[in-house]
């Protein structure tokens, strides 16, 4: 279902694309008679479930994240009122935030109502199709899966439309993340995919692995990477080498993959041209030591200095070749 957008919403959503948003918190609203304390309780329930079930907190290596920020105004009469406040809030934030980083995620919010709490909340997500912005909402369960969806959305690992489609049906009948894991993918390697030559790279994954669309990003064999500073998928080859070790470390710490797969720390796939169907892609092996117990600068330097072996293959052969190189260990 669509939410009526204020006239200045499109400008706000477009502006949000110019910032790094992976650490942006999701605004949480209370509807009608819901107090801020009630909203905070529901947010804590989602965050704690995600931290315990996905991150293995408090026994894992990662701390409990800060996912939500309860709005201390209201309560709000309906979702349109929430949206109007959300857009005003975004414009004020853009004017006061430092370059590149913003504290609030600009393309989604949640709303809590008495009728649905504490088991469900309304999730509203903005997305762009053919240059047009839409804001749709779904009634979603309050559980660890919601936290995983939102974290994947913040990190750029999940397409907003795919997220909404998880909740198109009745919640009692909806497909869960675990149900969408392809059995052939269990305990295999996952590979990072980079684009140094293809601008609109969204279709690249389906060219490499047509089954990618059938699973969640957490259960896929390939994931398209973006630069956390610019949020862009396309980057230079040098930037790719700098980021790859950092991405390997962060992927390991997130512990987000749901099917026993692990991101390979040395083998990756790169599209270095604007026509991979005709020109193919590169399967690359980076000869760094694979030690992720380092800070960002150390990992950046390790990636930049490493020797890279590359092989050009047809785009539909890239995944098989990556697996072959990974198994051979060279």
pLDDT (tens digit per residue) in 120-176: 899 999 988 767 788 888 888 998 888 888 888 888 777 888 888 777 533 333 333
What is the average per-residue pLDDT within 270-277? 91
Average pLDDT of the chain?
Answer: 84
120 and 29 co-located in one domain: yes
pLDDT at site 2: 55
Residue 4, pLDDT > 80, answer no
Residue 45 above 90 pLDDT? yes
pLDDT higher for 309 or 60? 309
The answer to whether the CB of 325 falls within 8 A of the CB of 313 is: no
Give mean pLDDT, residues 320-330: 84
Instruction: Tell me: do 285 and 217 sit in the same domain.
Output: yes
Give the other-Cβ count within 10 Å of 134's Cβ: 16
Q: Are residues 32 and 149 in the same domain?
A: yes
Last residue of a domain, one of 129, 147, 173: 173
62 or 221, which is more confident: 221
Domain housing 94 = 9-173
Give a yes or no: residue 294 inside a domain.
yes
Gap between the Cα atoms of 252 and 254, Å rounded: 6
Residue 158 and residue 200 share a domain: no
- Label residue 288 by pLDDT band (50, 70, 90): very high
CA distance 35 to 230: 37
Judge whether residue 105 has pLDDT over 70. Answer: yes
* 2 part of a folded domain: no
Q: Which residue has the higher pLDDT, 104 or 234?
A: 104
Q: Which pLDDT score is estimated for 181?
A: 37
Q: CA 208, CA 31: separation in Å to the nearest integer?
A: 44
Task: Please state, as a whole number, how many other Cβ atoms lie within 10 Å of the Cβ of residue 80.
Answer: 13
As a whole number of angstroms, the distance between CA 254 and CA 68 comes to 18
For residues 211 and 241, state if they share a domain. Answer: yes
| Biggest CA pair distance of the chain | 62
Look at residue 180 and tell me if it is in a domain.
no
Contact (Cβ atoms closer than 8 angstroms) between residue 156 and residue 23: no
Structural domains of the chain, count: 2
Q: Higher pLDDT residue, 115 or 20? A: 115
Per-residue pLDDT tens over the stretch 20-44: 777 889 999 999 889 999 999 999 9
Which of 104, 139, 173 is a domain's end point? Answer: 173
Higher pLDDT, 134 or 191: 191
Q: Do both 228 and 94 map to the same domain? A: no
Q: Do residues 20 and 166 share a domain?
A: yes
Asked if 316 and 195 sit in the same domain, the reply is yes
Residues 99 and 199 placed together within one structural domain of the fold: no
Query: Given this model, what pLDDT does residue 170 score?
Result: 38
pLDDT at 208 over 60: yes
Residue 99 has a pLDDT of 60
- Specify whether 165 is located in the same domain as 201: no
- Are 209 and 137 members of one domain? no
- The answer on 76 and 197 residing in a single domain is no
């Amino acid at each position: 279902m669509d939410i009526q957008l204020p006239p200045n919403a499109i400008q706000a959503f477009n502006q949000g694309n110019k910032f790094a948003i992976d650490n942006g918190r999701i605004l949480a609203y209370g509807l009608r008679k819901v107090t801020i304390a009630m909203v905070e309780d529901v947010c804590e329930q989602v965050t704690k479930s995600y931290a315990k079930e996905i991150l293995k907190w408090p026994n894992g290596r990662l701390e409990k994240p800060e996912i939500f920020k309860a709005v201390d105004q209201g309560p709000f009469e309906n979702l349109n009122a929430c949206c109007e406040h959300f857009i005003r809030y975004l414009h004020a934030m853009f004017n006061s935030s430092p370059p590149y980083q913003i504290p609030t995620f600009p393309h989604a919010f949640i709303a809590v109502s008495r009728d649905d709490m504490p088991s469900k909340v309304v999730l509203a997500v903005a997305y762009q199709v053919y240059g047009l912005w839409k804001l749709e909402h779904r009634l979603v369960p309050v559980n660890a899966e919601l936290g995983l969806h939102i974290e994947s959305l913040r990190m750029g690992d999940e397409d907003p439309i795919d997220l909404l489609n998880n909740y198109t049906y009745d919640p009692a009948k909806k497909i869960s993340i675990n149900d969408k894991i392809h059995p052939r993918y269990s305990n295999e390697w996952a590979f990072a995919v980079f684009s140094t030559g293809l601008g609109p790279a969204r279709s690249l994954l389906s060219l490499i692995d047509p089954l990618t669309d059938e699973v969640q990003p957490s259960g896929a064999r390939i994931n398209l990477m973006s630069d956390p500073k610019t949020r862009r998928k396309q980057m230079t080859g040098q930037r790719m080498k700098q980021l790859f070790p950092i991405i390997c470390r962060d992927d390991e710490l997130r512990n987000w993959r749901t099917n026993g797969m692990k991101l390979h720390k040395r083998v990756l796939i790169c599209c270095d041209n604007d026509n991979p169907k005709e020109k193919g892609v590169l399967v690359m092996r980076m000869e760094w030591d694979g030690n992720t117990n380092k800070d960002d600068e150390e990992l950046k330097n390790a990636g930049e200095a490493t020797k890279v072996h590359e092989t050009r293959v047809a785009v539909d052969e890239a995944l098989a070749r990556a697996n072959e190189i990974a198994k051979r260990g060279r």
